[in-house]
């Protein structure tokens, strides 16, 4: 195997005195979808926030494409090719779909290419094309999630960090969005770290996974191995 795209070693992150990440190591190969599973409060969102530079780790290292990025400002991390699609979508509600997408490309100056990428987002999410002049705040939850992903794509990421894209959506919409994520990975080669509480859909999409409990990785392996694990079935797949 070649060089990992993202490599995290012994990461520790705190909120004041609270240790939210307790020595996490994780590897993502280029082209992979890696899911991070775990219950509420396990530290999944904090892990993404630390990768994207919104939080400084207390200890440990994060390497992206062979270079250290831990402790860097969020804009530097974005420029390196890492895009974070946060939990709760956070689209700009008073701006139109078009304006949200254009703002997504804020680090870029190549207008023709930006316009082309916007059309590409519309190919993946046709409903956004229909609503391109509509204010984002008037979209449904699923459409806002699509817009948040589309806005992230406008930065031409090498890796996307997706925080619970299934949150609050109907099973049908979740299937629709995950099918698009699968296509983005297969056709555009976008590598992904997918944080999810919905283990079933996440393991169906991902190549590999990590399970977190109270700030630690308690299990990891290929998606198939995790799906067949008795513990995962009992704690994460059973009740869904
Ligand atoms: P969720 O799915 O609910 O977001 P999670 O696995 O992403 O869960 P985190 O949000 O990363 O978990 O939270 C990890 C730990 O850090 C939890 O104990 C949580 O209470 C704590 N925590 C999260 N955000 C803050 C904050 N802003 N200030 C203090 N503690 C926080």
pLDDT for residue 107: 79
Q: How close is the Cα of 236 to the center of ligand 1, in Å?
A: 19
Q: In this structure, what DSSP letter does residue 124 have?
A: H
Quick one: which of 150, 152, 171, 169 has its CA closest to 161?
152
pLDDT for residue 45: 96
Kindly report the pTM of this predicted structure: 0.94
Of all protein residues, the one whose alpha carbon is nearest to atom 28 of ligand 1 is 15
- Under a CB-based contact definition with an 8 Å cutoff, are residues 95 and 136 in contact? yes
pLDDT for residue 240: 44
Helix axes 111-124, 97-104, angle to 10 degrees: 120
Where along the chain do its domains lie? 1-81+158-239, 91-156
Handedness of CA 203, 121, 162, 40 (dihedral sign): negative
Of all protein residues, the one whose alpha carbon is nearest to atom 19 of ligand 1 is 41
pLDDT for residue 125: 95
Asked if ipTM goes beyond 0.90, one says yes
Alpha carbon 215 to its chain centroid, in Å, reads 18
Give the three-state DSSP class for 185: helix
Q: CA–CA separation, 51 vs 176, rounded Å?
A: 27
pLDDT for residue 232: 82
Helix ranges (H only) for the chain are 44-51, 74-80, 97-104, 111-124, 126-130, 141-153, 171-188, 199-205, 223-228, 230-232
Q: Which ligand 1 atom sits closest to the C-alpha of 39?
A: 6
- Under a CB-based contact definition with an 8 Å cutoff, are residues 154 and 148 in contact? no
- Under a CB-based contact definition with an 8 Å cutoff, are residues 168 and 132 in contact? no
Of all protein residues, the one whose alpha carbon is nearest to atom 3 of ligand 1 is 40
Q: How close is the Cα of 134 to the center of ligand 1, in Å?
A: 33
Query: Residues lining ligand 1, judged by CB closer than 6 Å?
Result: 15, 18, 20, 38, 40-46, 197
Mutation pick for ligand 1 pocket among 13, 19, 20, 211 (CB with most ligand atoms within 8 Å): 20
Q: How close is the Cα of 196 to the center of ligand 1, in Å?
A: 14
With a CB cutoff of 8 Å and minimum separation 6, the contacts of 46 are 13, 15, 20, 21, 55, 215
> What are the CA-CA distances from residue 146 to residues 86, 100, 227 (Å)?
12, 12, 27
Q: What is the pLDDT along the chain (240 residues), one digit of tens a residue?
A: 678 999 999 999 999 999 999 999 999 999 999 999 998 899 999 999 999 999 999 999 999 999 999 999 999 999 999 999 998 778 999 999 999 999 888 777 888 989 999 999 999 999 999 999 999 999 999 999 999 999 999 999 999 999 999 998 999 999 999 999 999 999 999 999 999 989 999 999 999 999 999 999 999 999 999 999 888 888 777 644
Of all protein residues, the one whose alpha carbon is nearest to atom 20 of ligand 1 is 41
CATH class of 1-81+158-239: alpha beta
Of all protein residues, the one whose alpha carbon is nearest to atom 30 of ligand 1 is 15
């Amino acid at each position: 195997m070649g060089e990992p795209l993202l490599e995290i070693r012994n990461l520790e992150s705190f909120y004041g005195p609270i240790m939210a990440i307790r020595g996490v190591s994780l590897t993502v190969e280029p082209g992979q979808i890696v899911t991070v599973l775990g219950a509420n409060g396990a530290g999944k969102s904090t892990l993404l926030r630390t990768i994207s530079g919104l939080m400084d780790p207390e200890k440990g290292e994060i390497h992206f494409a062979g270079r250290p990025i831990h402790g860097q400002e969020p804009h530097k991390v974005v420029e390196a090719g890492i895009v974070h699609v946060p939990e709760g979508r956070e689209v700009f509600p008073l701006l139109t779909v078009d304006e949200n997408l254009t703002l997504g490309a804020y680090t870029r100056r190549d207008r023709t290419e930006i316009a082309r990428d916007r059309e590409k987002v519309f190919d993946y999410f046709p409903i956004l094309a229909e609503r391109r002049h509509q204010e984002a705040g008037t979209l449904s939850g699923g459409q806002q999630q699509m817009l948040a992903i589309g806005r992230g794509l406008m930065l031409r990421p090498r890796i996307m960090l997706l925080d619970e894209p299934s949150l609050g959506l109907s099973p049908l919409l979740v299937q629709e969005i995950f099918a698009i994520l699968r296509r983005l990975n297969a056709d555009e080669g976008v590598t992904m770290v997918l944080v999810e509480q919905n283990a079933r859909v996440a393991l169906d999409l991902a190549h590999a996974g990590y399970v977190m409990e109270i700030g630690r990785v308690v299990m990891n392996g290929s998606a198939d191995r995790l799906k067949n694990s008795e513990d995962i079935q009992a704690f994460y797949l059973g009740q869904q």
